Structure 1
Amino acid sequence: MPRPREDFEDLRAFEFRDPEEVLDREELYTVYEIARLLQGVEPGQELDPETENVLLDWAIPWMLDHSESFVFAEPEADDQPGYYGLK
């Protein structure tokens, strides 16, 4: 349900960082690690499933929007995630 603007004290600009600002060119990351990095969370930090899902909701569209900046490596097994890095 929409809410009136005056219900919110802190409105900020909606900005995403460029991939080069988030990722190290010499590393490859899972989408879960990228999602954490986008929010300033350490890549290996444990998160509850609900929080991780919210972070993924932000990371996946960001990655699609910047798809020209990424390379990927196939996962080592079918039940593991792939890895992504800077071109």
Structure 2
Amino acid sequence: MPIDRDTVSDLRPLEFRTPEEVLDGDKLYTIYEIARLLQGLDADMEMDRPTENILLDWAIPWVLFHADAFVFAEPEADDEPGYYGLAEP
């Protein structure tokens, strides 16, 4: 449900960073790690599943939008996530 703009005290512009600004070119990351990095968190930070799911809602479209900047490595096992890295480190 929409809220009145007047009820919010801290409005900021959206700031979208490029993959090169977020990721280290010499590393590969899971989508979960990318989601954390996009929020300025440590890639290996522990978090609860509901919060992690919210971060994924931002990270997945961001990765898709910048798909040409990424390479993909298959997961080590069928029940693990794949890894993403910069196409040009």
- Normalised by the shorter chain, which TM-score bucket? over 0.9
Q: In structure 2, what is the equivalent of residue 40 of structure 1?
A: 40
| Residues 1-87 of structure 1: pairs in structure 2 closer than 5 A | 1-87=1-87
Q: SS state of the match for residue 61, structure 2? A: helix
Deviation at 1:10, TM superposition (A): 1.0
In the aligned structure 2, how far is the partner of 1:53 from the partner of 1:7?
Answer: 26
Identical-residue share of aligned pairs (%): 67
Give the Å deviation of 1:79.
Answer: 0.4
Q: CA deviation at 1:36?
A: 0.5
**Unaligned 5+ runs, structure 1:** none
Residue aligned with 1:71, SS: strand
Q: Measure, in 2, the Cα distance between the counterparts of 1:25 and 1:35.
A: 16
- Note the alpha carbon deviations across 1:1-26, whole angstroms, 9 max, x for none: 11111111111111210000000000
CA shift for structure 1 position 76: 1.1
Deviating above 6 A after TM superposition, structure 1's stretches of 4 or more consecutive aligned residues are none
CA RMSD of aligned residues (A): 0.6
**Aligned counterparts of 1:14 and 1:40: Cα–Cα separation in 2:** 14
